[in-house]
Structure 1
């Protein structure tokens, strides 16, 4: 075990001694800060003193739309839940969360997990491929440590970098949120619809949940990039394929959502928000099913990485 931790430490040193790594960290912080400044000084807040009247008007429009046009059962369910949430806000005097507030801003910054994923993919793509391109792989493998431990140490270092990026994203969004918007509305709860009734949830818990759900796609795409880097020894190929799939995969499964078999595609299972909103991509899909599919894909990526790396002739 001590060998593994020493290997992991060495891999972390390799990551953080690169100037590019610190550039990515600075860019992430700057993006979060610029988002806060843009929301504060440029975007129209959309705040309304008469938000209750607006929600009542929205409910009337939603109810009319259900009665006027045919809808799928899933769509009707979403509309009814929306109406119930609006009614609960009106009855309990809970104003909607505005974008120019601490929580509204932090919810918006959860979308920047895509930037964290992009940067981590770049790191993952070079973890193994760079050893071959630089010719240092032989020096790495002459150590009295198994190839499996070497590869696992590299992957663990990659995940630690991903965790750092997510932690940095969460903490900086909180700090800049306080700086730009203060604590006004910090007591506002998050409302969700569960088991036929409206439920109040702590907003911090909800935001952490959003970060967690959005991180699932990050972990799977980073694992894919790491696998491609290991199998093909090409960082550019790993980055190219991973980024292409990350940006086009969700759109592809949406286009194919009318087919039942699409639920077996990786990208149909990485978005757990579809279960919290009650509208899965394919009717009958459950969170348990998606977890099983993700485990299968993860196991396949891990197996290919370990199998190829352990059997590869480094002299080739």
Structure 2
């Protein structure tokens, strides 16, 4: 299996387009960094000695909004979270007087996960379909290796490529952010809020978890593209459908969720697990356990379709 993965990995990197993808990702991170540096030039956070009073006044405004009622669930949850976090800051003397630093830049860089995902989808869409288009699939299938191992090696290679792109994004954002913005003068924790409880978390741990949670939708779309590529042997169809759903899937799901409760069973209602930590579920009644279960079901469904069709397909086809 390891040898098969190595072969697939080398085949990916022999294509000039793969190198171009990495270069584009690095260039865009650099452009974003330069823009942010220009925006931050000469600006510092004022040393507000009355920051605790400011947080108390902010909490009073939030509490008044909650008492008035009539708020949508996402706003209500947001206010409750902010109140709890602000009270924790006041109680533990965690100041809000913090300048923009490398940690902020790395978190802002997570917006480019969608670009890394786009490149991964392109690889996933072609890794099987191109074998049929080029006629090389016959050379693979005449080997004394099961079709399951062949297809699994291709999928694992795709996942490794996506993981590699995420590492490139994270590490380069960290290095560039360190050079441009530096570390904060005083180490400060990230305050997490879940089920009414506020806890401190190191920034590096928070960012790793944050990148991981924001990569779930990319993993699911990549798996979908891989399945379409395997079933229909058409990389263009796999890329087109996956990219369309990447940009429109959540929007369409939100529209349906506003009218139909069954929208919670749609894939894109469950890919954003941060909704359980930073906001409200897309559909009332959804839970973290429910979303994880739905993701597992979709993940297995995509693979069952891909492996079943690949094992049954005629080599001559």
What is the TM-score with the length of structure 2 in the denominator?
0.92
Count of matched residue positions in the alignment of Structure 1 and Structure 2 = 313
Contact 2:257 2:263 in 1 (8 A): yes
Change (3 A) 1:18 1:293: same
Structure 2 residue runs of 5 or longer lacking an equivalent are none
Give the SS at the match of 1:192.
strand
Residue correspondence of structure 1 range 1-316 to structure 2 within 5 A:
4-42=1-39, 47-50=45-48, 52=51, 54-68=54-68, 70-72=70-72, 75-96=75-96, 100-185=100-185, 187-258=187-258, 259-277=260-278, 279-316=280-317
The superposition leaves residues 202-236 of structure 1 with CA deviations (integer Å, 9 ceiling, x where unpaired) of 11111111111011111110000000001111111
Give the SS at the match of 1:42.
helix
The superposition leaves residues 158-205 of structure 1 with CA deviations (integer Å, 9 ceiling, x where unpaired) of 111011001111111111111111112561111122443432111111
For residues 291 and 246 of structure 1, what CA distance do their matches in structure 2 show?
19
For residues 305 and 93 of structure 1, what CA distance do their matches in structure 2 show?
54
For residues 181 and 43 of structure 1, what CA distance do their matches in structure 2 show?
9
Structure 1 residue runs of 5 or longer lacking an equivalent are none
Give the SS at the match of 1:256.
helix
What is the TM-score with the length of structure 1 in the denominator?
0.92
- The Cα RMSD (Å) is 2.1
The superposition leaves residues 217-261 of structure 1 with CA deviations (integer Å, 9 ceiling, x where unpaired) of 111100000000011111111000000011111111111223211
Contact 2:189 2:200 in 1 (8 A): yes
For residues 142 and 126 of structure 1, what CA distance do their matches in structure 2 show?
21
**1:139 CA drift (Å):** 1.2
Change (3 A) 1:59 1:222: same
For residues 282 and 299 of structure 2, what CA distance do their matches in structure 1 show?
21
Contact 2:98 2:184 in 1 (8 A): no
Contact 2:190 2:203 in 1 (8 A): yes
Change (3 A) 1:250 1:46: farther
Contact 1:231 1:308 in 2 (8 A): yes
For residues 275 and 35 of structure 1, what CA distance do their matches in structure 2 show?
29
Change (3 A) 1:275 1:310: same
- Of 33-42 and 158-167, more deviation after overlay is shown by 33-42
Contact 2:37 2:180 in 1 (8 A): yes
